[in-house]
Amino acid sequence: MALNKRPKIAIIGSGNIGGILAYHATSRKLGDIVLYDNVEGRAEGKSIDISAAAREDEFDLRITGTSNYEDIADSDIVVITAGASRRYGMSRGDLVAINSENMFGIAQGIRNYAPSACVIVVCNPLDAMVTLCQRCTGFPHQRVMGMAGVLDSARFATFIAEELGVSVRDVNATVLGSHGDCMVPIVRFANVNGIPVMELLRQKYRGDEQRVQETMDALVLRTQKAGGEIIRLLKDKSAYYSPASSILTMIEAIIQNRKRLITATAYLTGQFGVSGYYVGVPCIIGASGVERIVEFEMTPHEKAMFDKSVDDIQQLVAQLPEIPPEFAPKP
Ligand code: A3D
């Protein structure tokens, strides 16, 4: 019997997010994992540790650690979790220079050894780094996407569930736009198994419209600042458990060709009135990557917030360095 090849997932950057992602990807049996890091021994050490969980967690996958790009050869998916993260007091934009420099080498490694992969960018500032990754790899936009919206939407859903005292499993929430303070939670779409959250807040606060609005405003603001809230508490680290879970959602959607409708940072060619920029929007994610961007009519308030978010992205992208000549498309 011919057995199909198992999916191969490369994770570039074996720090907090990369390590947890590798562990959960193996325990969910998603495929063989290659952990890469430029700190000698880090990826290998984590891979040996995770391998030793295989018996108890009942997986028979291969997990290897490396500092050599050759080992990511022919990966189906590459996730980029390499790079500096924010410290307390920093904005995501403060990471442009350092993480751009990292991206040059990473993109070259991916372009050389995993030319058919779908790439999920996670490092910050997300919207700029996914742009740079696509420019450097030259891959079709459909195969280069950013993970932010799944996480931002999960945070919004979590805060709504806590406020209403319901299971987060039943909460649908959508956050679009940039992965920054100008992200756009779409309040109109927030519901608990179809019942609008605003209606449930009205029931809770017995029709006190001011209290309802203030509560929703606070949920939106907390979502927009959620990353910073965690950094303020951890001081020298950013969130890592929930980003890893959100990346898994995207990996599963691609590997299992699930056609999930989720928010991903995708390249716009006129959708929502934007062209030539990566922005967080609703997408169908399947085996080919971003298979379709799903548009809907925004209210004037949503559109104003979305446009502000796009301005934010444009400012970050304007700070990106020139692409070195070795990345120029081959004639
Ligand atoms: P951390 O635990 O510091 O791990 C980063 C790893 O990358 C370290 O092991 C480094 O050695 C490694 N690394 C650095 N440069 C390179 C390079 N050039 N090649 C290979 N490996 C390298 O950080 P983390 O895992 O907490 O976060 C990783 C990135 O994700 C950061 O840029 C964060 O800002 C970002 N992040 C994004 C989100 C989103 O929702 C988009 C959420 C949380 C963190």
pLDDT band, residue 324 (cuts 50/70/90): confident
What average pLDDT does range 53-69 have in this prediction? Answer: 96
- As given in the structure block, the two tokens for residue 101 are 């420099």
Which residue's alpha carbon is nearest to atom 32 within ligand 1? 123
* Closest to 189 measured CA to CA, from 153, 213, 225, 221: 153
Residue spans of alpha helices (H) in the chain = 16-27, 42-51, 54-57, 96-113, 126-137, 149-164, 197-204, 209-224, 226-234, 241-255, 300-318
φ, ψ of residue 18 in degrees (nearest 5) = -55, -45
pTM of the predicted structure, to 2 decimals: 0.97
pLDDT band, residue 197 (cuts 50/70/90): very high
**Amino acid at residue number 125:** P
Provide the 10 A C-beta neighbour count for residue 137: 24
Catalytic residue among 24, 141, 179, 301: 179
Per-residue pLDDT at 3:
63
* Distance separating alpha carbons of residues 179 and 152, to the nearest angstrom: 8
- As given in the structure block, the two tokens for residue 128 are 């700029």
Confidence check: pLDDT of 328 > 80: no
Determine whether 179 is an active site residue.
yes
Residues contacting ligand 1 via CB (< 6 Å): 12-18, 37-39, 42, 81-86, 99, 102, 105-106, 122-124, 126, 147-148, 151, 179, 238-240, 243
Confidence check: pLDDT of 330 > 70: no
